[in-house]
Structure 1
Amino acid sequence: MSAILLDLPFPLAGPLPIWRTVFAWFALAPLLAGLLRIQVDFPGNGVRWQLGWSFLAGWWTGAVWFGANCYWVYNTMYSYGNMSRAMAVVCLVLFSLYLGFWFGVFGLALALIRRGTFGRKFAWVAFAAIPLLWTAMEFAIARIPEFPWDQLGYSQVDNGLLTRLAPWTGVYGISFLLASVNALLAVALASGSTGEKRRGAYFSGARFCGGLGLAIAFAGCAGFVIRQPRMPTAATAVLVQPNLDVDKDDVWAGPEWDRQIAQFGRFAQEVCNRGYIAGIPEMGVTQGETECGMDSVPAALVVWPESPAPFRDSDPRFRAAMAGIAKADKAPMIVGDIGMDLDTAHRYHFYNSASVIAPDGRFVGRYDKIHLVPFGEYIPFRKLLFFAHQLTENLSDMGDGADRKTFAIGGHPYGIFICYEAVFGDEVRQFARNGAEVLVNISDDGWYGDTSAPWQHLNMARMRAIENRRWILRDTNNGVTSAIDPYGTVRQSIPRHRVGALSAEYGYNSELTFYTVHGDWLPALCAILSLALLGLVLLVWPGRTIPGERSREISAIPE
């Protein structure tokens, strides 16, 4: 039940309707209540049995949730990874089991703490530990398998009240609050055995916790009616959306190169009179149009996204074409391409890069993607996966960059991050800490197809804007191309799968949020406290019963 409920407050096959975000407030409660009751409903089955089933309950919940939330892994592997349907299913199952394992660790940790405080006056510690353990688990998934996809807090990206936590705590603060409310509701759900019903004070406490949880959830949901301030804009960028087919080898031989470059040049000039959607596509929002006078100025920036275009930064033809567009438009450019370096051993290294080009056509710098996509841009444990020939032989490892540099464009520093890097808040914030007043995210979400992933990816990028209070110019190959303001609101966008360009208005900000400066301090603290609590429980493990407690009735929640 928790696995199903957890999937509802996230995008499924399109943008997320606001009403579905309410499920995040109680989606965990069935899992938590079940974990807390295992030792109550089956007291005679032994400690190992109870701990084992707690681990398996968490693991099964996590595996089902990841399988449902990330079902697009199957589509990507089958449609674009040259895998058979059977192999794509196997990949999805193994992927879900691996990430679901961390839910199992969460279940085991909660069971250990519950066992350590069993039948004692400190039994409330297990309930207080739930938000700590949950936040620590999300932190562990972000740092060990490095897949912090759709953490619980992302479900509230449109909540004007809860997102006020993000500039202080990152998305983890929202997850912590949601897990706390779920813990309160689990108290009420866990109070169901016949023996406990004879204890009026016990049930009064359970009802109080449940009522408090509902009250907080109700107040929190009111945040969706809070209107975010409209941020002023100071410049206009042209974000090109080429809508190239990721399944084709785009070599652009002969006339095709000339046609594509000419089209790019036309889009780069369209600063004015471009229609746009005043919000997220497919949400029924109003249409808008950029207003321009007769004396319109050139774009402050032209952006080409990460895409399957045959752009190589060492290719003279590419460099000449980009210099020509920049000079013609008198505008700086950020262009997604493949970077190449030659080391001292005369070996070539390739990078997923973004080149920065000055208005006079000079290539002034290049950002090389640092956080690569496993099984997309490199194969982890390649030698151990020797049996997966379909996967390992068709993919060469890309090099990873080493510097989160900023680039001075038009007198303002810009930070650039590429595709998958948008899901790592602690990494994106470093661009703002290094001085970036605007963030540019280039991405190719064509690999996801028409699944939930492009919309999930968009919401995670929106949270990066909130955490750092920065405008984000998000330019994608086939959508969602958008301008996101410092409060995470999509102010302008264009439809997916349309060849075109967005004339995006944006502004600058140099102020640093607490999260920008200090990063993931909250989940790190939760991890330390969780480990300390587990260590304390194991040190005083109650294999022997405290005198006077042997005959006491076992309760699921504190008295």
Structure 2
Amino acid sequence: MNIKKSIRYLLCVLSGLILAAGWSDFHTGYAAFFGLIPLLLLAEHYRVQTGRVNAPSVFFFSWLGFFIFNLVSTWWIWHSSEAGAIMAIVFNSLFMAIVFWLYYVISRRMGLRTGLWSLVILWLGFEYLHTNWDLSWPWLTLGNAMSGNIRFIQWYEYTGVFGGSLWILIINIFLFLAIRHSLTGEKKNATRWFTASAIMLLIPVSISAILYHQYEEKGDKAEIVVVQPNIDPYNEKFDGMPVAEQLIRFTQLAGEKISDSVNFVVGPETQLPGGMWEESLTEHPHFRFLLDFIKKYPRLTLVTGMSSYREFLPGEPLTPTARKFRDGDGYYESYNTALCFDTAGKPMLYHKSKLVLGVEIMPFPETLGFLGELAIDLGGTSGGLGHSKEPIVFSERSGRFRPAPVICYESVYGEYVTGYIRRGANLIFVITNDGWWGNTPGHRQHLRLSSLRAIETRRSVARSANTGISCFINQRGDIMDPTEYWVPAAVKGTLQANEELTFYVKYGDYIGRAASLLSILVLLYYFSMRLMRRKIM
């Protein structure tokens, strides 16, 4: 197999564009089944050459392909942070290229079959690591590509998104082998691999279709009003519009939909943006304003977002994100907070735990905590935030409905959301502020990820976005009653509160954990074999 240099560049571009199509607004997640094939053909071109390793060339071309993938899929980050976009796109491409380069060197030394197995294991291990370390950015986990094609992936309730990544990797490899045999004239083997690819595609899709059409919504019914205030995060939210005026807009929109039968009103992230001290929260006039509003409806519970502070008590251990008072000796911590209270006025609080890198937290705060001052300020509470140690489940007065308060970026993390469910949550409330990215694919990609959380947990979702899109999502992942983007709105819907636990809720990212362990073994085996060969030589 010999590929001209100009074609090699074309293959890189093609791979990046096909992969990126999985994150487009056209619901073409199935494009990911073909996205790695051009890069695999390119690597095979170098692998079969005798006497030359060509690892640097493979690394460069794979990085270029993954750079295009990241650029086309997540260019919208630039709207909120130029530096953040550059870091996310360049470094995420680099991490992906390292994995692909490892596949190449292993296949070069140990054969194509071993190399392809190692690619599956190392890629899944990388995705799991990239979901759980301080430089986490799992937005482009391959399984997320299917978020717009929920009828194909109802079995995510058993596997989570890593099952989707495994599926996509296997189909890419099978099709690559089919094309490889076709190019070398081995028609019989090519037919076998094309057939295997079709089977591997159709069986999961068929299972999903059965699950989708046979699934029945479970649980007691809750009436919920979701409010979308539509306050510009750049020019109004944090300094252009008085908080009192923002609250009036919020309550007017909610009041248009509320009735005596409504159980919850859900507001967006940082609906209360000014920064409120948690010790005196119930005395704050903004809290009292909202409390007076919901007292008109005895059954009502309000869940919304706020920026908050908490002062450390004398002698209390300080966290890496503790801040010193400028005019005193004490310390305090800032939070991006979810707030819940009913007509009794006793607040429940949860502090966002999956924080946005570079905005709400800097990496490795235990050793690099001083970098918190360099965090990008997008308004509200930013720069080295504190967090809750574990997911906290809210509840209305009767205890019948128990929502998981998922704040913005947390909805990207499937296993983290299962922590709420294991603690008793029977609904999911996503509160977010997606206006930072403008009317780009970013906020629509974020919306579709909530459908994955609904399928994985079989929990209904109420989603309140400050600037849109707000909606309801049923337990099959169907998006219902979506609002328009950048339009003030409130929608009322009925969701069912499921109590059953899915296989994925019980066992989480078991595929990713297994792949991480196997990745270590693969790398140990590869490097030990290299050492043994050097000693023999």
Superposition TM-score tier, normalisation by shorter sequence:
0.7 to 0.9
TM-score normalized by the length of structure 2:
0.83
Give the alignment partner of residue 525 of structure 1, picking from 514, 518, 527: 514
Structure 1 alignment gaps of length 5 or more: 78-87, 273-295, 546-559
Query: Is 2:363 aligned against 1:376?
Result: no
* Matched AA of 1:27: G
Q: Is the 8 A contact 1:102 1:141 kept in 2?
A: no
- Quote the Cα distance in structure 1 between the aligned partners of 2:461 and 2:375: 37
CA distance in 1, matches of 2:40, 2:389: 41
1:275-308, Cα deviation, whole Å (9 max, x unpaired): xxxxxxxxxxxxxxxxxxxxx6331001111146
Q: Does 1:17 align with 2:48?
A: no
In 1, Cα distance between equivalents of 2:175 and 2:150? 23
2:91 aligns to what SS in structure 1? helix
Structure 1 residue identity aligned to 2:37: A
Note if 1:39 corresponds to 2:26: no
CA distance in 2, matches of 1:181, 1:253: 51
* Letter of the structure 2 residue corresponding to residue 205 of structure 1: N
* Structure 1 contact 237–271 (Cα < 8 Å) conserved: no
* 1:351 matched residue in structure 2: 335
What is the CA distance between 1:406 and its match in structure 2? 1.1
Question: Deviation at 1:140?
Answer: 2.3
Q: 1:156 to 1:318 in 2, by over 3 A?
A: same
Partner of 1:310: 273
Aligned counterpart for 1:299 among listed residues 251, 254, 262: 262
Name the SS of the counterpart of 1:533 in structure 2: helix
For the 8 Å contact 2:154–2:208, the answer to whether it is kept is no
* Residues 125 and 94 of structure 1: CA distance in aligned 2, closer, same or farther (over 3 Å): same
Q: 2:443 aligns to what SS in structure 1?
A: helix
Alpha-carbon distance, 1:60 to partner: 2.3
Which amino acid letter does the alignment assign opposite residue 269 of structure 2?
E
**1:51 corresponds to:** 55
Distance 1:216 1:169 in 2: 16
For 2:450 and 2:41, locate their aligned partners in 1 and report how far apart those are by CA, in whole Å.
33
Distance 2:527 2:336 in 1: 47
Report the residue type matching 2:29 in the other structure: T
- Higher RCO (C-alpha 8 Å, min separation 6): 1
Residues 1:253 and 1:7: Cα distance change in structure 2 (over 3 Å): closer
Query: 2:143 aligns to what?
Result: 153
Q: Distance in 1 between matches of 2:508 and 2:69?
A: 27
Query: 2:387 is aligned with what amino acid?
Result: D
Shift of 1:219: 5.9
Question: Could you tell me whether the CA contact under 8 Å between 2:335 and 2:387 is conserved in 1?
Answer: yes
Instruction: Quote the offset at 1:74 in angstroms.
Output: 1.3
Are the structure 2 counterparts of residues 414 and 69 from structure 1 closer, same or farther at C-alpha, using a change threshold of 3 Å? Answer: same
State whether structure 2 residue 307 is matched by structure 1 residue 338. yes
For 1:25, the aligned partner's letter is F
Q: Is residue 267–residue 501 contact of structure 1 (8 Å, CA) maintained in 2?
A: yes
3-state SS of 1:329 partner = coil
Structure 2 Cα separation of the partners of residues 537 and 489 of structure 1 = 45
Are residues 500 and 91 of structure 1, via their aligned partners in 2, closer, same or farther at CA, if it must alter by over 3 Å?
closer
2:297 match: 329
How far is 1:143 from its partner? 2.2
CA shift digits 1:203-240 (9 cap, x unpaired): 52233213422453366667897754463671211111
* Counterpart in the other structure of 2:66: 62
Q: Is the contact made by 2:358 and 2:375 (CA closer than 8 Å) also made in structure 1?
A: no
Maintained 8 Å contact 2:264/2:303:
yes
Equivalents in 2 of 1:225, 1:449: separation in Å? 35
Match for 2:90 among 65, 90, 97?
A: 97
* 1:254-269 correspondence runs (5 A): 258-269=244-255
Secondary structure class of the residue paired with 2:481: strand
Counterpart CA distance in 2 for 1:373 and 1:527 is 24
Report whether the alignment pairs 1:165 with 2:155. yes
Give distance in 1, aligned partners of 2:369 and 2:179. Answer: 45
The CA deviation string for residues 174-222 of structure 1, in whole angstroms up to 9 with x for no partner, is 11011100001111333477xx54xx5xx52233213422453366667
With over 3 angstroms needed to count, the CA separation of the structure-2 counterparts of 1:540 and 1:389, relative to structure 1, is: closer
Contact 2:150–2:451 under 8 Å retained in 1: no
What SS is found at the alignment partner of 2:334? strand
Residue 213 of structure 1 aligns to a residue whose secondary structure is helix
Q: Between 346-355 and 220-229, report the one with greater CA deviation.
A: 220-229
CA contact (8 A) 2:230 2:488 kept: yes
The residue identity in structure 2 corresponding to 1:335 is: T
- For the residue of structure 2 that corresponds to 1:450, the secondary structure is coil
Alpha-carbon distance between aligned partners in 2 of 1:117 and 1:446, rounded to the nearest angstrom: 49
Alignment map for 1:212-223 (pairs within 5 Å): 212-217=196-201
Alpha-carbon spacing, 1:379–1:248, altered in 2? closer, same or farther (3 Å) = farther
My pick for the range that moved more, 480-489 or 531-540, is: 531-540
User: Structure 1: how far apart are the matches of 2:413 and 2:338?
Assistant: 18
The answer to whether the 8 A contact 2:143-2:164 is kept is: yes
Residue in structure 2 matched with residue 556 of structure 1 by the alignment: none
CA distances 1:373-432 after superposition (whole Å, capped 9, x unpaired):
11222334796998x979489953222222311122142222111001111111111000
Classify the secondary structure of the residue corresponding to 1:61. helix
1:366 paired with 2:366, answer no
Are the equivalent residues in 2 in contact too, given 1:30–1:189 (CA < 8 A)? no
The one of 398, 402, 413 aligned to 2:385: 398
Worse overlay, 393-402 or 106-115: 393-402
State how far apart, in whole Å, the 2-side matches of 1:480 and 1:54 are. 41
Counterpart position of 1:8: 21
Matched, 1:239 2:208: no
CA 1:323–1:161: 2 relative to 1, 3 Å: closer
**What one-letter code is carried by the residue in structure 2 that aligns with 1:339?**
S
Distance in 2 of aligned mates of 1:391 and 1:462: 29
Residues 143 and 165 in structure 2, CA contact (< 8 A), matched pair in contact too? yes
Alpha-carbon separation, structure 1, partners of 2:239 and 2:98: 50
SS of structure 1 residue aligned to 2:288: helix
Of 202, 206, 212, 2:190 maps to: 206
Q: Which whole-Å deviations, capped at 9, do the CAs of 1:65-114 have from their partners, x for residues lacking one?
A: 1122110121212xxxxxxxxxx2x6533332211111122112212321
The answer for the alignment partner of 1:285 in structure 2 is none
Superposition pairs for residues 540-551 of structure 1, below 5 Å? 540-541=529-530
CA contact 2:29–2:149 (8 Å) conserved in 1 = no
Q: Is the 8 A contact 2:155 2:207 kept in 1?
A: no
Structure 1 counterpart SS, 2:80: helix
Correspondence 1:155-194 to 2 at 5 A: 155-159=145-149, 162-191=152-181
Q: Distance in 2 between matches of 1:393 and 1:158?
A: 29
Work out the CA distance in 2 between the residues paired with 1:260 and 1:70. Answer: 31
Cα contact 2:84–2:358 (8 A) shared by 1: no
Q: How many residues of Structure 1 are paired with residues of Structure 2 in the alignment? A: 491
Q: Which residue of 1 aligns with 2:79?
A: 75
Give the aligned residue type for 2:337. S
Question: Structure 2: any 5+ residue segments left out of the alignment?
Answer: 1-13, 315-329
Moved more, 165-174 or 400-409: 400-409
CA RMSD of aligned residues (A): 3.1
- Structure 2 residue aligned with 1:282: none
C-alpha change, 1:160 and 1:496, in structure 2 (3 Å) is closer
- Looking at structure 1, the residues matched to 436 and 69 of structure 2 have their Cα atoms a distance apart, in angstroms, of 21
SS of the equivalent of 2:492 reads: strand
Q: Which moved more, 1:439-448 or 1:373-382?
A: 373-382
Question: Do 2:270 and 2:337's aligned partners in 1 also have CA atoms closer than 8 Å?
Answer: no
Contact 2:80 2:378 in 1 (8 A): no
